Structure 1
């Protein structure tokens, strides 16, 4: 009997080794891992540059506290500020923590408490982040959620135009709704939110926990659209390539609401995680690397759409970069299991979407292998057999 609380529905796979896009299980089977640790292992398992950076930092020290001057914090904060176009950075340990901090900073900076998010959004599972999440299934069983949150349809700018007013502290939005079904935000919606927030002295917070760190072929997904100007950006997942770290990036001026003692994190800005992040950010600062991600992912998306045209089970193919959703005519779970039988690992994103998150370093040969497995696994007769 396990001593673990049963909060995860575990697969019958026990990893013993992982390298690049591949994961080896205890039974000897080798799986093509297109979960990337739920969008975390962006540079693939065992990236040599990340490992070297972490090992070097381990040889120095792995924890002091945030009472000390820690140069690597300043270095990685500067990398994030440069890539995001924002100015100030707070480090924590996860995407949930980053969103929780962003919500606190927004309320404190504006003096207002009303925050608008989107239906089917996902921002985390702590009380603030859970309240920001527009899914009743996430709220169920925990009593009243934190007050001051309302939810509007994603990509419905007109609804936001009617709702945002001078009592609004912030709008929190994903560029692509991940857990909500891999639904991309439109440029007009995201640009419109920027203008609305500016008009009503509200902050625009963009959740880049899953879409950031090169996942869509840009350092952060909102950078694809020139007219999108966030005040705060949160990220995590791929930032440490598997080591726990999250970050909040904020525009200049917001630091006035973040004086000493207002917020903190014992392990936030841990030098081991930051060493990994420094290597990750160096890689996604390379435009040639990002251009290759965009080229490979566009080709892969095109091939998936061709498969969908001849596969009745697939209703839609959507996403951006290597954040891809296959909407299925029925429940997605049986297809996930069928793909596992074919030694390809994927995820769900809601009841009817298969989510595909390859590492950014995946090769075209590996993508071609995945395409063969997907086409075979998505034949209706295969799933029903």
Structure 2
């Protein structure tokens, strides 16, 4: 069938919750995707920061094929080898103590919120605790995750949401401090805000938040779902800041395409929060996703991906800054590592659509940001190709 025929079938049957681009992806190879007619696209979106290994990595594929031949699912009533190995590798890389595997990033946020509330309940003997979240944040679309997402547009149709949530200004410590009271049990934020426009946390801000949490026994929850897994040049973005969260969430590149998330915590939190009966999931941490996570962790080490991102980030920055100098419509470049945002005065949705016509996949963040979150395996020649294609688009009259 043609791409148009597939699009017609999808539009007739799928719930219309996405305004999709007119692209039907057939397969991928390396850092390129191909549509049903064989057209080639350089991918600088990576499935929204998911496909860090690019496409068709042999080691990763073979790990999944071997697990399919063994067993896909057993339930959490029993142990399985892949998830045991995955947990050990992930905790070592994350410098955390305990992990619970989920099916998605949103579910990881839900688990993190529950763990924080249970920790406070265990400590105080009563419920009714509050959480401080950040304006312009994004943590997911379930009721709990929406409750801590700092964008009224996402929340308003689904209210009332979870109570006891206050919003502070990201990178403004006094704004956060002013919201703290005796009922505050947790502060949640993205280490680098993604959907809100690619804003990294200021080092002084994050260190001050950590100090405040230590002083008042408040749990610091860091959402690393998009900015983690090597995207900023460290395995997790917070590792650049000289602090450690009490709870962190991960997903997206954790499975590199297999749906899996996780929330991780310190032993202190684990010993005083969730116990048998408090939390669970049928599919979370099954053998198949365990094999995926384990293989991903292996490939990160084998390819030395974090150092690769660090080494190539300066080159990406220089090419993007050159783009800003060349085109007045680009007013700012921000972000860390391979998580970059270009502030653009042209309609960014139309820029992304025109980029597709040039064989380049980019996405947006907020109302005026072109978001670049490519596979971590890109090389200099791919950055050059991206700049060439994006330059062609920025040269166009787009209204």
Residue matched to 2:233: 217
How many Å apart are 1:71 and its aligned residue? Answer: 2.2
CA contact (8 A) 2:334 2:342 kept: yes
Residue matched to 1:158: 174
How many Å apart are 1:274 and its aligned residue? Answer: 1.5
1:241 aligns with 2:241: no
In the alignment, the residues of structure 2 paired with residue 229 and residue 167 of structure 1 have an alpha-carbon distance, to the nearest angstrom, of: 22
Structure 2 matches for 1:117-132, cutoff 5 A? 117-132=133-148
CA deviation digits over 1:62-103, x for unaligned, max 9? Answer: 001100111222211111211111100000011000000000
CA contact (8 A) 1:113 1:167 kept: yes
**Structure 1 length-normalised TM:** 0.96
In the alignment, the residues of structure 2 paired with residue 84 and residue 195 of structure 1 have an alpha-carbon distance, to the nearest angstrom, of: 20
How many Å apart are 1:192 and its aligned residue? Answer: 1.1
Residue matched to 1:2: 12
Over the residues paired in the alignment, what is the CA RMSD in angstroms?
1.3
In the alignment, the residues of structure 2 paired with residue 330 and residue 113 of structure 1 have an alpha-carbon distance, to the nearest angstrom, of: 44
1:63 aligns with 2:73: yes
How many Å apart are 1:51 and its aligned residue? Answer: 0.6
1:73 aligns with 2:83: yes
1:196 is paired with a residue of what secondary structure? helix
2:13 is paired with a residue of what secondary structure? coil
**Structure 2 length-normalised TM:** 0.93
How many pairs does the alignment contain?
A: 382
In the alignment, the residues of structure 1 paired with residue 297 and residue 250 of structure 2 have an alpha-carbon distance, to the nearest angstrom, of: 12
1:275 is paired with a residue of what secondary structure? helix
Residue matched to 1:383: 398
How many Å apart are 1:142 and its aligned residue? Answer: 1.3
Residue matched to 2:344: 328
Residue matched to 2:5: none
In the alignment, the residues of structure 1 paired with residue 38 and residue 29 of structure 2 have an alpha-carbon distance, to the nearest angstrom, of: 14
How many Å apart are 1:369 and its aligned residue? Answer: 0.5
How many Å apart are 1:282 and its aligned residue? Answer: 1.9
How many Å apart are 1:284 and its aligned residue? Answer: 2.7
Structure 2 matches for 1:1-385, cutoff 5 A? 2-111=12-121, 113-226=129-242, 228-256=243-271, 257-285=273-301, 288-379=304-395, 381-384=396-399
1:99 is paired with a residue of what secondary structure? helix
In the alignment, the residues of structure 2 paired with residue 27 and residue 271 of structure 1 have an alpha-carbon distance, to the nearest angstrom, of: 36
CA contact (8 A) 1:219 1:284 kept: no
5+ unaligned residues in a row in structure 1: which ranges? none
How many Å apart are 1:302 and its aligned residue? Answer: 1.5
CA contact (8 A) 2:51 2:256 kept: yes
In the alignment, the residues of structure 1 paired with residue 39 and residue 365 of structure 2 have an alpha-carbon distance, to the nearest angstrom, of: 25
CA deviation digits over 1:172-231, x for unaligned, max 9? Answer: 0101100000111111111111111111110000000001111111110100111x2200
How many Å apart are 1:52 and its aligned residue? Answer: 1.0
In the alignment, the residues of structure 1 paired with residue 112 and residue 302 of structure 2 have an alpha-carbon distance, to the nearest angstrom, of: 28
1:268 is paired with a residue of what secondary structure? coil
CA deviation digits over 1:261-316, x for unaligned, max 9? Answer: 11001110021111111111123345843211111122112210111012101011
CA deviation digits over 1:122-177, x for unaligned, max 9? Answer: 00011100101000111121131110111111110111122223321100010110
